[in-house]
Chain A
Amino acid sequence: MERLDAAQARDHLEMIDRILSQSQPRLCSGGEYFVVWGIAGALITLIGHLAGAGLAAAGVLWCIPAVLVASVIFSVVRGRQKRQAVTRSSLVQREFFNVLVVTLGLAVIVDIAVFRIFPGIAGAAIWSVAEAIVLLYIGLHGNRRAQIGGSLIVVSLIVANFAAENAAAYVLAAGMLIGFAGFGLAELIAHD
């Protein structure tokens, strides 16, 4: 049986320290998901508002499930592609994706199935809250862009609350576009 002396033990521990300090797993890769879901959230909010206010034909409401389905299909297909090709994926990244799926998944369910309790603009606000949770969670792990994006969405929620009734949807949509999709775009630019 091999034995280690103190010098070898020190050498092995130093190697472990070096590897762990260099690993620095990235919390998130895949800015495209944020871009897609940020745009989808804003589009759904605007379509719902325009149809509700009578500024667009009620038929445009059918665009909402279409946007949702397209976003889900994109996410699943892209997720499979990335999962197959990735050579190094961190545990933190997996945890982050779990938070993303659970939070946004819950928001979709609430918006679709709990529409009597959260009608109209309340559904959009739920979506904004979900997006803010995802970004602020990433922000807690030190991502400055996510902190800014999440804060912008929170600000949009507060501004929407005090804005004129017919302006609230535009404010929330802007928060989703700038905060969520903007964060995704910034991530894509930063890591390319």
Chain B
Amino acid sequence: MDELLLSKVRLGVVAELLDFDWVAFSELARSLNVSNGNLGAHMSKLLDAGYVEEEKSFVNRRPLTRYRLTNRGRDAFSTHVSQLQALLKAAT
């Protein structure tokens, strides 16, 4: 199994990004109900693995950080979900 996606927060981030082009950091933190610091640490790991892309900009002089899923992240998610389903099937 993909160790990176064993974390519920990181798996949640990838699932949140699945249907979206870009999602802001603040939106992800709100949706997943995690602190900014906690989410920031998880996003760094996903960025390092090449699962997500980051875009930083300023809107009305306020910073806006947005993320989107890469093809690599999408493939990893798909494989991981298949493995989770297989694990569940094997256990029942």
Binding site for B on A (CB under 8 A): 1-2, 4-6, 9-13, 15-16, 19-20, 23, 25, 84-94
Contact = CB atoms under 8 A, between A and B. Distances in A.
Interface residues of B, number: 31
A54 to B, nearest CB: 50
Interface string B48-92: 000000000101100010100000000000000100110110111
Among A85, A87, A94, residue most surrounded by chain B Cβ atoms (within 10 Å) = A87
Interface in B17-31: 18-24, 26-27, 31
Given A9-B87, A15-B15, A84-B64, 17 more contacts: A4-B6, A6-B88, A6-B91, A9-B85, A10-B88, A12-B11, A16-B81, A19-B12, A19-B15, A19-B16, A23-B16, A23-B18, A87-B24, A88-B23, A90-B19, A90-B20, A92-B19
- The B contact surface, by secondary structure, is helix
17 contacts: A1-B3, A4-B84, A5-B91, A11-B8, A12-B84, A16-B11, A16-B15, A19-B12, A19-B15, A19-B16, A20-B18, A23-B16, A23-B19, A84-B64, A85-B64, A87-B64, A90-B19
B1 interface: yes
A4 B87 contact: yes
Nearest to B66: A87
A5 B6 CA distance: 11
Given A1-B3, A84-B59, A89 B22 contact: yes
A9 B84 contact: yes
Contact of B87 (A6, A19, A20, A86): A6
B59 A85 contact: yes
B81 A25 contact: no
Contacts of A87: 23-24, 26-27, 64, 66
A5 B91 CA distance: 9
Nearest to A22: B31
